[in-house]
Amino acid sequence: MLKFDFANIFNNKIPNGINKDTINDNKKIIEESINNIKNNNPGFVELVLSRKWIDSVLDINNFVKSFDNLVVIGIGGSALGNIALQNTLRPLNWNNFSKNERKGNLRIFIIDNVDPDYVSSILDSIDLKKTLFNVISKSGSTAEAMSNYLVARGLIETCGLSPRKHLIFTTDPKKGVLRKIAKEENILTLEIPENVGGRFSVLSPVGLLSAMAAGINIEELYDGAKSAYYRTINENIWNNPAALIALIHFLYYQKGRNISVMMAYSNKLYYLADWYRQLWAESLGKAYSKDGKKIHIGQTPVKALGAVDQHSQIQLYNEGPNDKIITFLKTESFDRDIKIPYIHIDENSLNYLHGKSLSQLLNNELLGTETALAQNGKPSLRITFPKINEFNVGEFIMYYELATTIAGDLFNVNPFDQPGVELGKKITYALMGRNGFEEYRPSISDEGIEI
Ligand code: PA5
């Protein structure tokens, strides 16, 4: 189970900080928000309270495991959850393992951009005959996902392979071009439930298929997520991580802390910070309040990696403006550890390292950074993973999806839409010559000034 430490949030060195009374004063609005979640389970909660979605991927386990590679094609909420699950729950060099070492599970590649160098580098490294492509798009229309689908399909056809045997779509149950093609060509599909948006979809077939393909225990992911949900709806605010995370971020935002840094002291957990970045940004960064007032609100999420960013960001966090609240992610148990050897034993400046482990150094660096920030009056909280496993990652995902929903009520915005993404998409369609989008084509003067 995850452990949460909020002590440095209530540190009295923080200028214009918050105290425990401030939390108690907001109990009512938090209770209302949680009751709302309890009474009208959001789609991302419904997912984990049913076996339907787990079963939908387990049903095709044998088909999936007949391949050696799975290439996921998607972007945003259709990719970031997959990337997070793969990198937190599999060794970071998983794709270099032999099939034996992978115990028959698949190598996983996730194509979430249309940079041709990047796409080619992935497509060049796989044997198409042994590859299944999972095209994920809720809308079935996103330009990046659709073009990478066409590229992949072009290759499949050029190699004389049957697209139907190498493709599986994950998309809306009714709408979109992927659904249409799947019906026409009898291509295997998985559903993204209508009431689950991209960035809340990691525990739907969006993330479950690649997780299962890589041998991740998806039942335990769900167990962790369910335990986080039940704790959130049953516990009072002081024993309620999702509610506290939402409330302290909101309260500090009101006090000018408009940046939320998530700093992971683990390369694996860093991918959760990446997933969080989209969730917090797209859900809470809004022009209008729920009641239609122009508010331009939102807290900018930033990801950071310890110890690397101690040598890049920490100067700013310690001494720069009072505009940040920081969340540290820590693990108490790495999969592997490395002892620092006794070399140069007479060197005074090195012998404090001899015989220590890298994990010990990293976690002491975390403690050092956290303590320095506290002494400088900067608020932070810490989330500890006793181990990075499926249960704890499932918990983390659900806590943050719930915290984002509660924060939506506090910030008074709809956390489930993203109207600000639409205009850029439409202009891109116009620039690429898509029919019906001509009016969005920028005029010459909008196209920039090159010097
Ligand atoms: O969270 C979201 O809704 C977005 O980030 C989408 O996931 C992203 O735009 C991709 O959309 P789609 O799955 O429709 O291709």
pLDDT of residue 422: 85
Which residue CA neighbors atom 12 of ligand 1 most closely? Answer: 137
Profile the chain (451 residues) by mean pLDDT over runs of 10 residues: 97 95 96 96 97 98 98 98 98 96 98 98 96 96 95 97 98 95 97 96 98 98 98 97 98 98 98 98 98 97 98 98 98 97 95 97 98 98 98 98 98 96 88 92 70 75
Task: Mark whether 157 and 249 lie in a shared domain.
Answer: no
Residue 198 and residue 76 in contact, taking contact as beta carbons nearer than 8 Å: yes
Cβ neighbors of 174 (< 8 A, separation 6 or more) are 194
Residue 418 placed within a domain: no
Assess if residue 289 is contained within a domain.
yes
**Could you tell me if 407 and 246 are in contact, meaning their C-beta atoms sit under 8 angstroms apart?**
yes
- Whether residue 163 sits in one domain with residue 25: no
Q: Which of 197, 216, 235 is the last residue of a domain?
A: 216
Kindly state whether residue 355 falls inside one of the protein's structural domains: yes
419 is a domain residue = no
Does residue 86 sit in the same domain as residue 27?
no
Same domain, 140 and 242: no
Q: Summarize the chain as % helix, strand, coil (round to 5).
A: 50, 15, 35
Report yes or no on 241 lying in a domain.
yes
Give me the pLDDT at residue 302, please: 98
What's the total number of domains in the chain? 3
Same domain, 388 and 431: no
Q: Beta strands of 227-278 (E only): which ranges?
A: 259-264
| 150: nearest Cα among 167, 138, 165 | 167
In sequence order, the 6+-apart residues with CB closer than 8 A to the CB of 99 are 68
Residues flanking ligand 1, CB < 6 Å: 75-78, 137-139, 142, 145, 197-199, 282, 418
> Quick one: 130 and 167 in the same domain?
yes
Residue 443 and residue 395 in one domain: no
Active-site residues, by number, are: 282, 311, 425
| Statement to judge: residues 205 and 225 lie in one domain | no
Q: Are residues 388 and 287 both part of a single domain? A: yes
The one-character DSSP state at 90 is S
Does some domain include residue 329?
yes
Q: Answer whether 134's CB lies under 8 Å from 170's CB.
A: yes
Nearest-angstrom CA–CA distance, 220 and 392: 9
Ligand 1 atom closest to residue 145's alpha carbon, by position in its atom list: 15
pLDDT, residue 99, reads 94
Q: Report the nearest atom of ligand 1 relative to the CA of 197.
A: 3
- Residues 6 or more apart whose Cβ sits within 8 Å of residue 300: 258, 259, 260, 281, 285
- Domain end, chosen from 187, 216, 245, is at 216
Contacts of 236 (CB under 8 A, 6+ apart): none
Domain boundary among 216, 236, 252: 216
DSSP string, 186-219: T-EEEE--TT--GGG-TTSHHHHHHHHHTT--HH
Phi and psi, residue 59, nearest 5°:
-60, -30
Name, in order, each residue with C-beta under 8 angstroms of 324's C-beta and a sequence gap of 6 or more. 257, 259, 260, 261, 302, 317, 378
Using the mean position of ligand 1's atoms as its centre, give its distance from the Cα of residue 429 in Å: 16
Looking at the structure, tell me whether residues 335 and 350 fall in a common domain.
Answer: yes
**In a shared domain, residues 201 and 72:** yes
Q: What is the CATH number of the domain that holds 229?
A: 3.40.50.10490
Q: Is 107 within 8 Å of 94 (Cβ atoms)?
A: yes
Rounded distance between C-alpha atoms, residue 64 and residue 42, angstroms: 30
Strand, helix or coil for residue 273: helix
In a domain, 416, yes or no: no
Residue 258 within a domain: yes
Q: Are 192 and 259 part of one and the same domain? A: no
Q: Which domain holds residue 444?
A: 425-451
